[in-house]
Amino acid sequence: MRRWMLGGFVALVLVTGACSDGGDSKDERDKEEASGTREDYVDAFKPGVAAMGVTDEQAKCVAEAAVDTVGVDNLNKVTSPREVKGQTGSFDMTAFNLTEEEGGALYDKIDACVDVFDLVVGQTPDPALADCLRQNVTDGMLRSAMVPLFMGGDTASGDAAVALTNAYNDCQSQVSPTSLPTP
């Protein structure tokens, strides 16, 4: 469940791609290609965010939040705007060494752009499941499960992730099992 439910949010927040494909090292790239400005990165991230079903204004806001939190200098050390536009994966957040405070700030900035809770719940494949999740999952629970992902973890962990998983499983057992994906 963690990967299914949180995966959509992670795709939104981590803004579709910013890690090297394992090819040439940063030093081997052309300097012009490797350096990007804040606007270059925001423009590179916007299409991936917009693909999550948010407005252009929301996509720009989320992209700005990610770029401003990670920082242009850090992005330039790991990727380039051209690579961001060409990737369909997700950030390798471990490269940025975000602190818990920075991870929380990123979540809060993104939540100010788009209602993260509604976006995540809205991606559930079954309306009955979505309704149940709205009644049993809190914004705080989702935030507490997501911040570790921004700090470089590959899955949500801790008490919040357990509570989120339990809420999902409880809801799943209450709705028609034939209409739901297997976690």
Kindly report, residue by residue over 72-105, the tens digit of the pLDDT: 998 998 888 988 887 655 555 667 778 889 989 9
pLDDT at 161 over 70: yes
| pLDDT confidence tier of residue 4, bands split at 50, 70 and 90 | very low
> What pLDDT does 38 receive?
97
pLDDT at 120 over 50: yes
pLDDT at 31 over 50: no
Half-sphere exposure of 29 (CA within 13 A, CB side): 21
DSSP conformational letter for 172: H
How confident is the model over 4-19, as a mean pLDDT?
41
> What pLDDT does 6 receive?
44
Least confident of 28-37, 77-86, 92-101, 168-177: 28-37
Split into its structural domains, the chain has a count of 1
Start-end of H helices in 26-138:
31-34, 38-50, 56-70, 72-78, 81-86, 100-113, 116-122, 127-136
Q: What's the domain range around 78?
A: 2-179
| pLDDT confidence tier of residue 39, bands split at 50, 70 and 90 | very high
Higher pLDDT, 29 or 174: 174
Contact 41, 63 (CB under 8 A): yes
For residue 69, CA distances in Å to 44, 48, 62 come to 16, 18, 11
> What pLDDT does 11 receive?
42
Length of the chain: 183
